[in-house]
Chain A
């Protein structure tokens, strides 16, 4: 497996400009001849498709929802980072680079992280030009808020709907390109496979989710912008349809999968309340700016939160991390919540919850100020739980949220499969072992607006256009396989629903490959996943057929892939015999319970190669270097 990262030789601050100077270009008259497939219309996909189409490439774009605007990115709430230094508080490209590297616990490729920080400011410029109505100060200039894990205020936002507004901005650019005929949009269409011809990605096989038709599309390059795989846990903050299918299928066709065990568990979600819960709701991290997190100091506390006096409240983050307090990075906040609950201090009916309390903020700043900041979040919380945060503290608990792992990509965002690119959450790139808040949208849009439109040209310019279409035998073969899988699923005729098998997988993964992992737990999961997979293939029940709309069939296809992928996740978590960022191996912690890295043996990216069905995958390493920022133990205490 070729893991050449294609990082140019240059000082880090000049890498991207140097690289751009040396990239080959495709001329404007030639671009319309090149067909580019973009799968996904979230922030990464919509921005990539719109930007490439505006340059003149012929773009075919796909999403499984009924409209590009409904991609999961729409749900992002809190904001997007950019090193503008509007607050004059010492921000800079270097500071954002530093925060991201440190936040990721030194498990990212420096060159990519620097480029992300460097491009961050232009994303805000681009979005404002599109008409994204960011929050403004009284003087009319852009406003900022702070977010976890950093000491500057660099987060731009639109109330609690930043993802919606940024996505609508990107989708408006996409809409124009659709209208002008430069993008052919295929909604309600799901990717089932990637087609390889002569070692290069040349197209995809899809299923029309309305008619059930299986068909192919050919192109000179394929860009996957299909998001993350948190739904392997069944319960997560992700939209119900989020899946690993596209990246997993690409992996099985030869694309290396990097760091699958890096998944972020978000600390501020509404705790699970019932057996039939289908989805967890995130409460924006911005709440940690004013809310104080605590649990009762004594096990077995029975008083209601309002009756518990100050000395019996354990503000564990403030006590343990005086410098960052409630604003420690997500992995630290989540792990601490789990620890206090494991110690029997949890609150709520399940005892799996901690308080997020606004009492002091309301008395310090007044109802009006707090209302202006959080009114809609408070209302949302009350609607879901029936309790008002104005009167009683919120209850929160960590939930799976974001996946740092993904398809391995080089500096050009190309996977190990030539012609197959991955952008946004689907790739592994910039967040190492833990992502800081408000930085995913930044990465998605940097990838889509500014990086892929340029780097893809370098690849395309080296290859002819229009030399194959879907009549090539490789397409017929891939279509046959896709149809075969669907027929197999429908033929099982067992007794268990997809939903219940997915719930079972989720529980297994949460217990053994969640906030904390151990060798024993991972080995147990590795033994049980194949059993569950067997049950799936022998006892699944899907009602209805392959033609027309069949939502159980769609879900079954996605679960089949999760059931294979989950094993790789656990395998990766097992081999990474260290703790770093969100990957917390119980065997490796400091005396104070912090993640203990092993830089000598694990400062690399783990990249997995698929070697066949029921054959152990092959493991490769991309070594990481730390030149711009020397390795250090993360410290959020002093």
Chain B
């Protein structure tokens, strides 16, 4: 197979970017999308040209590293699929393919197709946890959890933090990402003591990072490779409103020293 590629090239965060055109041929349908770009990069290197910088690690759809907007769609045309799980048999021979990085003010481009997603980490750091030290804990089976609840919690917890939701959102909102973590913990008994404080802190951090606000476009759900439901955004909103209504006395960092 043969493909005409238009790829976003940008030398660094401060540099201006532009599309470059490439052609790759001799690609078998069993090749993955990223292997197709690996092949392009090898050929570019052999010619003494700079390779296209992109992120990937697990190549199994779980680490959340790969992040390409393919023909206008984050992670490309297949629903519930990350870029690394796309295969060239999902494309037509000779098809033009445009590849861009995630586009969002909160995810500055570092180089070519690589962006800085550390804003997500800071949202998690602001409250995406249950405070527990390492050491002896109560017997878990003393506290049964309805399997439906555990499953729903896992539906939210399986977020891979790739950022496709932000890239897909016309407003660049990070609501699906934040809602997934808030719901994962908020559904479980272990998450209850810090539930209201958590949602408030995480929403505040999200706003501080410059993500847009949610206008219910639902593009995030459509782009999410883990098909996380926007019902969790409703859940976040309800929790957030309740947290605002009943302000909690927030304590400082846990003093364990």
Contact = CB atoms under 8 A, between A and B. Distances in A.
Interface of A: 28-29, 31-32, 47, 50-51, 54-56, 65-70, 72, 74-75, 86, 122, 124-126, 128-131, 133-143, 158-159, 161, 163-165, 168, 171-173, 175-176, 178-181, 185, 187, 210, 239-241, 273-279, 281-282, 380, 383-384, 386, 449-450, 453, 495, 497, 499-500, 541-544, 548-549, 551-552
A175 B128 contact: yes
A56 B255 CA distance: 9
Contact of B150 (A70, A134, A241, A384): A134
A129 B130 contact: yes
Contact of B140 (A124, A139, A549, A551): A124
A324 to B, nearest CB: 28
Given A129-B190, A131-B191, A133-B150, A180 B254 contact: yes
Given A55-B256, A161-B62, A276 B35 contact: yes
A500 B145 contact: no
B74 interface: no
A140 B144 contact: yes
Q: Which of B89, B114, B154 lies at the interface centre, i.e. has the most chain A CB atoms within 10 A of its CB?
A: B154
Nearest to B15: A548
Given A31-B257, A69-B64, A497-B46, A135 B55 contact: no
B93 interface: no
A65 B63 contact: yes
Given A70-B65, A136-B147, A164-B62, A131 B140 contact: no
A125 B136 contact: yes
A56 B256 contact: yes
A131 B46 contact: no
Q: Which of A130, A187, A552 lies at the interface centre, i.e. has the most chain B CB atoms within 10 A of its CB?
A: A130
Contacts, number: 236
B61 A380 contact: yes
Contact of A173 (B55, B129, B138, B184): B129
List the 10 shortest-distance A-B pairs measured between CB atoms, nearest first.
Answer: A140-B144, A172-B129, A125-B137, A180-B253, A51-B134, A128-B140, A179-B125, A56-B257, A136-B147, A239-B57
Given A66-B118, A130-B132, A541-B45, 8 more contacts: A51-B133, A125-B140, A130-B129, A140-B144, A140-B145, A187-B118, A240-B56, A278-B35
Nearest to B162: A70
Contacts of A164: 62, 158, 160
Nearest to B159: A168
Interface residues of B, number: 83
Interface of B: 11-12, 27-28, 30-32, 34-35, 38-39, 41-42, 44-46, 48-51, 53, 55-65, 78, 81, 85, 87, 89, 110-111, 114, 116-118, 120-121, 124-126, 128-141, 144-147, 150-151, 153-154, 157-158, 160-161, 184-185, 188, 190-191, 253-254, 256-257
A543 B12 contact: no
Contacts of A69: 64, 121, 161
A466 to B, nearest CB: 17
A505 to B, nearest CB: 16
Given A125-B136, A239-B63, A383-B87, A172 B130 contact: yes
Contacts of A56: 256-257
B82 to A, nearest CB: 10
Given A31-B257, A168-B157, A273-B30, A133 B184 contact: yes
A47 B172 CA distance: 33
25 contacts: A66-B65, A70-B161, A75-B62, A86-B141, A124-B140, A125-B136, A131-B185, A135-B147, A136-B147, A140-B147, A163-B62, A164-B160, A173-B132, A187-B118, A239-B58, A274-B31, A276-B35, A277-B31, A282-B60, A380-B85, A500-B42, A541-B46, A544-B51, A551-B53, A552-B45
Contacts of A66: 55, 65, 116-118
Q: Which of B131, B132, B161 lies at the interface centre, i.e. has the most chain A CB atoms within 10 A of its CB?
A: B132
A282 B51 CA distance: 28
A28 B257 contact: yes
Contact of A179 (B130, B147, B253): B253
B118 A165 contact: no
A122 B45 contact: no
Contact of B257 (A32, A124, A548): A32
Contacts of B27: 276
A542 B50 CA distance: 9
A277 B256 contact: no
A541 to B, nearest CB: 6
B190 A131 contact: yes
A551 B45 CA distance: 12
A241 B129 contact: no
A51 B11 CA distance: 39
A176 B58 contact: no
B34 A125 contact: no
Given A56-B256, A179-B253, A133 B154 contact: yes
Contact of B147 (A137, A499, A544): A137
B136 A122 contact: yes
Contacts of A181: 253
Contact of B190 (A128, A136, A274, A450): A128
B73 to A, nearest CB: 17
B190 to A, nearest CB: 5
Contacts of A239: 57-59, 63
Q: Which of B118, B134, B161 lies at the interface centre, i.e. has the most chain A CB atoms within 10 A of its CB?
A: B134
Contact of A549 (B114, B133, B147): B114
B12 A67 contact: no
Nearest to B36: A276
A141 B44 contact: no
B146 A450 contact: no
Given A140-B146, A497-B45, A549-B53, A175 B157 contact: no
B42 A499 contact: yes
A141 B253 contact: no
A176 B256 CA distance: 12
Contact of A67 (B11, B81, B121): B121
A546 to B, nearest CB: 14
